[in-house]
Structures are given as structure tokens and as C-alpha cells.
């Protein structure tokens, strides 16, 4: 589960990691009043969304007056960033940033160990830094039994060229960040950028905290965060979450169901390759039953943008006859007029195709052929 920036920053402050003192607003009308309470003539307005790239999308802007803040916030609240609507905006004093660093903690599965990652090139995605400037990244793998004391953070700081007070502060911040990583069962925690200000302070200008879904039962205090996350999702995304379906809404008109995240992503890529526009990511799961597929089909049937439903199944534990029965049941009970393109391969493939044929459905064996057909039916190129 991803936390919003303002939630992550509140957690950072609880352990003494410096962050700007901001005000969360929920409408443009609140902007002028909030501006008068921020201790700065210049403020930054930051959309609170759970996707990356908001800066490039225009979701981070600066204002120098209450009127300007209100005008700009009207635009921000009308935005969608990568399909996600803006329900709140964080207003903070504009920092005098002289240098941007990166600091984060994640889990290195290859070494079965947490790793603290730092870079002298902050302000951009760490993946891009790894491609363009790998020498600017330093890492320290952590023994979970001993943790990450401040002296280890100071060693990383020295590798980044920091000294004096900055070296000491970096050690403290990195140690506290690791403490939060463990305490919240995080997949990832980071500040990017960790800003060096004009007066020589280190400030977490941004904050990110992703909690492992499997550990949420240990964090009942984050229940409100989960409600906020769902409030920012589309109605269908919220329904899918309640039904236990992995669903992300996109902007296209070809609804996609796959069994397994890898196959589903490959299906999206293939549809896009042939000139189609995927309407969603929907992973029905590797061991999906008739019931789970019926839930998935219900979600796509209720999406008014979807013209064609492309079901792509590579069966193992999942059985093709179960999928076929779910499609037949969906057509009968949902009274759907949407077109179906179905690809079945694997366990009980022939049985599944026979069921579909008896109900006037055609099933493909080849994934590319099926993807092309879905694009054509949606009105794309031949």
C-alpha cells in the first residue's frame, strides 16, 4: 500500500526527519487561507497522487500570493495524472535548494537483505540515475539483526562528498529512515530529493513510503490511509479492491483480463503494439476460479469506455473450462453487449473451447492473432 506524500512526511517528522511545514487543502477555495498561514512569501503546491511523474505532468507549481495560489490550485484540482484524479494538494514553503540528494531503503531480493541507497544526483527517478550516472549511487546492505546505526550513514555521506554538519545530519536521517523501514514493514521508503538548503540544512523535500500489503494487519493505524487511497481511485477501482480483484483503470477501450501479472502486462503491450488502447490492467490471478473470473468480467462490463473484452488465458492451475463457463455465465447474467475476444491455452483447453463454441464464441490459440482481432473490433488498424 502506498501512502500519500503528506502522510509519509508526518511519519518522517514523528522520528525527527526534517520536512517542510505544509498545509493540506481539499479545494481551491482553501488555497488563499492556507497561503496566509504558510511562513513564506513563495509556496509550492503539490498534487497528492499515488503515481510518479507528477512534476512532469504539471502537478507541482509555485505561487507568490494567495490569489495566485487559488488560481493555480483550481487547475490542479481539475487534473488527472496518469488517470488518477486530484483530491488534495499539499501547500508548503518553497525551499531554497542548493543541492539535491537521494536517500532510500528497499529490499534486495537477490541478496535477501535490506539495502540503503544514496546518490548525489537527487530530484530524478533513481532508475534513471542508475542508467545515466551509476557512479553517483552508493549502497550499504544491512544486517537486520544489527540495523543501520548512524555511523553507517556517515560512511555513505562521506562517499557522497559530504562533510561537517551535513555528514552528521545525513547519518542521523539515514538511520531514522531505516528504523521506519523496519517499523512499517516497508517495501520502499525514500526521500527524493533530500535537499541541502541555502542555510546548510538537510530537509526531506519529498517523501515516499510503501507498506507491504501482506503486513497491513499489523498496521491498523493506517486504515484511514487505505480509505483515502480508495477515495482517490475510480469507482470501479474501489469496487474491484473490495472484490479482491487486481484492477487498474487506464484510458483506452479494450478491456483486458489475464491470469498472472506477467501475462497481463504482456497482453497490454501486445495490444498497444498493434495500435490498440488498453482500458485497464486486470490480473484475475494464477489460480482463478469461475467465480473470480465472473467478478473480473463484471468490472469490465461496467466500464462504459470498454468496447471489447480481451480474455487471455495461459492455463496451469487455472482451467480453461472454468474460464469458459464464467464467460458464458457473464453473457447471460450481465446482459452484456460488449464484444469478446478469447484466447485459451493450457489445462482443459479443448473442453473450454467446446463450451464456448456451443454458445457461439470463437476462441483463439495464438496470442498475437487474438490481440490483432481485439484491436480490429475496437476500431483500430487492420
Q: Are 89 and 63 in contact (CB under 8 A)?
A: no
Q: Which residue has the cell 527517478?
A: 125
Instruction: Please say if 364 is a catalytic residue.
Output: no
Helices H, strands E: what count in the chain? Answer: 13, 18
Q: Are 197 and 96 in contact (CB under 8 A)?
A: yes
Please report the DSSP string for 29-67 in residue order: GGHHHHHHHSSSSSEEEEE--SSS-TTTTT-EEEESSHH
Residues belonging to the chain? 382
Catalytic residue among 35, 102, 178, 247: 102
The Cα 284–Cα 295 span in angstroms is 9
User: Which of 124, 114, 87, 104 is closest to 6 using CA atoms?
Assistant: 87
Residue 312 backbone phi and psi in degrees, to 5: -120, 110
Distance CA 82, CA 360 (A): 37
Is 190 marked active-site?
A: yes
Specify whether the CB–CB gap between 190 and 104 falls below 8 A: yes
Going by C-beta distance under 8 Å and a sequence separation of 6 or more, which residues neighbour residue 221? none
Task: Quickly list DSSP for 80-145.
Answer: EETTEEP--EEEEEPP-EEEEEEEEEEEETTTTEEEEEEES--SS-HHHHHHH-GGGEEEEE--TT
Instruction: State the catalytic residue, choosing from 5, 84, 100, 190.
Output: 190
| CA angle 281–283–286, rounded 5-degree value | 160
Query: Which residues does the annotation mark as catalytic?
Result: 102, 190
Amino acid at each position: 500500500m502506498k501512502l500519500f506524500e503528506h502522510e509519509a512526511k508526518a511519519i518522517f517528522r514523528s522520528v525527527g526527519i526534517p520536512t517542510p511545514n505544509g498545509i493540506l487543502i481539499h479545494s481551491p477555495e482553501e488555497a488563499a487561507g492556507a497561503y496566509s498561514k504558510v511562513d513564506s512569501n513563495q509556496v509550492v503546491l503539490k498534487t497528492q497522487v499515488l503515481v510518479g511523474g507528477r512534476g512532469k505532468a504539471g502537478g507541482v507549481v509555485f505561487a507568490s500570493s494567495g490569489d495566485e495560489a487559488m488560481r493555480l490550485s483550481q487547475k490542479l484540482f481539475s487534473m488527472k495524472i496518469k488517470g488518477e484524479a486530484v483530491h488534495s494538494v499539499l501547500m508548503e514553503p518553497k525551499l531554497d535548494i542548493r543541492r539535491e540528494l537521494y536517500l532510500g531503503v528497499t529490499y534486495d531480493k537477490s541478496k535477501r537483505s535490506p539495502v540503503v541507497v544514496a546518490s548525489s544526483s537527487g530530484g530524478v527517478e533513481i532508475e534513471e540515475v542508475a542508467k545515466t550516472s551509476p557512479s553517483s549511487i552508493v549502497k550499504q546492505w544491512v544486517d537486520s539483526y544489527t540495523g543501520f546505526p548512524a555511523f553507517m550513514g556517515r560512511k555513505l555521506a562521506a562517499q557522497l562528498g559530504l562533510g561537517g554538519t551535513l555528514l552528521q545530519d545525513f547519518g542521523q536521517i539515514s538511520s531514522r529512515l531505516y528504523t521506519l523501514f523496519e517499523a512499517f514493514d516497508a517495501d520502499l521508503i525514500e526521500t527524493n530529493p533530500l535537499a541541502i538548503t541555502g542555510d546548510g540544512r538537510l530537509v526531506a523535500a519529498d517523501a515516499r513510503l510503501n507498506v507491504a500489503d501482506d503486513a497491513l494487519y499489523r498496521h491498523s493505524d493506517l486504515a484511514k490511509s487505505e480509505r483515502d487511497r480508495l477515495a482517490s481511485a475510480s469507482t470501479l477501482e474501489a469496487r474491484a479492491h473490495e472484490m479482491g480483484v487486481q484492477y487498474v483503470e487506464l484510458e483506452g477501450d479494450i478491456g483486458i483480463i489475464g491470469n498472472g501479472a506477467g501475462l497481463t502486462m504482456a497482453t497490454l503491450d501486445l495490444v498497444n503494439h498493434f495500435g490498440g488502447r488498453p482500458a485497464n490492467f486486470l490480473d484475475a490471478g494464477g489460480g482463478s476460479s469461475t467465480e473470480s473470473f465472473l467478478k473480473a468480467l463484471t468490472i469490465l462490463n461496467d466500464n462504459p469506455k470498454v468496447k471489447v473484452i480481451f480474455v487471455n488465458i495461459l492455463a496451469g492451475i487455472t482451467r480453461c473450462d472454468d474460464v469458459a463457463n464464467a464467460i458464458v455465465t457473464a453473457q447471460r447474467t450481465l446482459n452484456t453487449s460488449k464484444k469478446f475476444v478469447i484466447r485459451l491455452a493450457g489445462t482443459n483447453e479443448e473442453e473450454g473451447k467446446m463450451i464456448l463454441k456451443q454458445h457461439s464464441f470463437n476462441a483463439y490459440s495464438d496470442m498475437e492473432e487474438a490481440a490483432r482481432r481485439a484491436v480490429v473490433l475496437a476500431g483500430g488498424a487492420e
